[in-house]
Amino acid sequence: MKRIFQQTPLLASIALLCMPLTGCLGPNIRGYKTKAYTIRGIRYHPMQPREALGHVETGVASHYSEHFLIFPGKTSTGENLWPWTRVAAHKTLPIPCVIRVTNLKNGRSTKVRVNDRGPFIAGRMLDVTKPVADDLGFTKQGLTKVKIQVLSVGDGSYRIK
């Protein structure tokens, strides 16, 4: 009995260290999220996967966070959104998909996975999390003009390039 109580702090520490890692796994997403939806009275019709491949678009990007302290937010796919998560939100791309985002003001670019819907603010095309905004060099400005190109659509066996 004494031995169990001596190991309890160690086991608790290991559990606390592993908890954030379980959020990285996310839910098992099968297929694509392409169903039409309405936000604030505006109807959005996401692209079909084959239509989205190679899609190029230019517009304004912003950055966002949906978490609060140690509590993650949720994306449209139901995945946890932690402070270090590198993802993006787009209104009409099929989710999930992978895009290349290029900051047109400084030329920096990065790949990012789109797994959320938004931004639902007029004149904005893309929302990225803070780590992505850091990579693109616009965290302090808040907004920047970007070009996106869809590289692949889907995950796992549903992935098309």
Long-range contacts of 21-24 (CB under 8 A, 24+ apart): 23/72, 23/80, 23/82, 24/80, 24/82
Look over the chain and give the mean of its residue pLDDT values, rounded to a whole number.
80
Give the mean model confidence (pLDDT) for residues 87-110: 96
Which tokens sit at 53?
């491949």
Predicted model pTM: 0.75
pLDDT of residue 22: 40
Residue 115 has pLDDT above 50, yes or no: yes
Residue 58 has pLDDT above 90, yes or no: yes
Residue 28 has pLDDT above 50, yes or no: no
For residues 26 and 78, what is the distance between their CA atoms, to the nearest angstrom? Answer: 7
Spell out the domains of the chain, with CATH numbers in brackets.
Answer: 37-158 (2.40.40.10)
For residues 45 and 48, what is the distance between their CA atoms, to the nearest angstrom? Answer: 9
For residues 111 and 64, what is the distance between their CA atoms, to the nearest angstrom? Answer: 17
Top-confidence residue, 15 or 45: 45
Secondary structure letter of residue 62 according to DSSP: E
pLDDT of residue 155: 77
pLDDT of residue 24: 41
% of the chain beyond a pLDDT of 70? 69
Residue 23 has pLDDT above 60, yes or no: no
pLDDT of residue 19: 42
Give the mean model confidence (pLDDT) for residues 41-49: 93
What number of H helices and E strands is found in the chain?
Answer: 3, 10
